[in-house]
Amino acid sequence: MAKKETAEEKLLKIIEATKQAKAGASAVHATAKVPKPAIGITFQQINAALIAAVVAGLIFFAYQINSGFALLGQDVSVPDGVAAAKDVPGVQVPQMKNLAYYLDQIALRNIFQPYEKKAADQGASSAEIGLQTKMSKYKLVGVAWLDVPESATAMLEDTGKHETRFLREGDKIEDVKVKAIYTDRVVFSCANEEITIKL
| Residue 24 within any structural domain of the chain | no
Each residue of 73-132: pLDDT tens digit?
Answer: 787 765 655 454 455 565 566 677 788 887 777 777 667 766 666 554 444 455 556 778
Comparing 109 with 13, which gets the higher pLDDT? Answer: 13
| pTM given for the model | 0.36
| Residue 138 within any structural domain of the chain | yes
| Of 43-47, 48-52, 89-93, 192-196, the least confident | 89-93
Comparing 113 with 171, which gets the higher pLDDT? Answer: 171
Q: Which residues pair with 188 in a beta bridge?
A: 178, 195
The total number of structural domains in the chain stands at: 1
33: confidence class by pLDDT, cuts 50, 70, 90: low
Comparing 33 with 66, which gets the higher pLDDT? Answer: 66
Q: How far apart are CA 95 and CA 79, in angstroms?
A: 11
- Here the CATH number for the domain that contains residue 187 is 2.30.30.830
When the pLDDT of each residue in the chain is averaged and rounded to a whole number, the result is 78
At 167, is the secondary structure helix, strand, or coil?
A: strand
| Of 60-74, 140-154, 157-171, the least confident | 140-154
Q: How far apart are CA 182 and CA 45, in angstroms?
A: 68
Greatest CA span in the chain, whole angstroms?
149
Q: Say if residue 165's pLDDT is above 50.
A: yes
At 177, is the secondary structure helix, strand, or coil?
A: strand
Q: Say if residue 173's pLDDT is above 50.
A: yes
Question: What is the pLDDT, as a whole number, of residue 110?
Answer: 66
Comparing 147 with 30, which gets the higher pLDDT? Answer: 147
| Residue 4 within any structural domain of the chain | no
Other Cβ atoms less than 10 A from the Cβ of 127: the count is 13
Q: How far apart are CA 180 and CA 198, in angstroms?
A: 12
Q: Identify the domain containing residue 189 by its residue range.
A: 128-198
| Residue 139 within any structural domain of the chain | yes
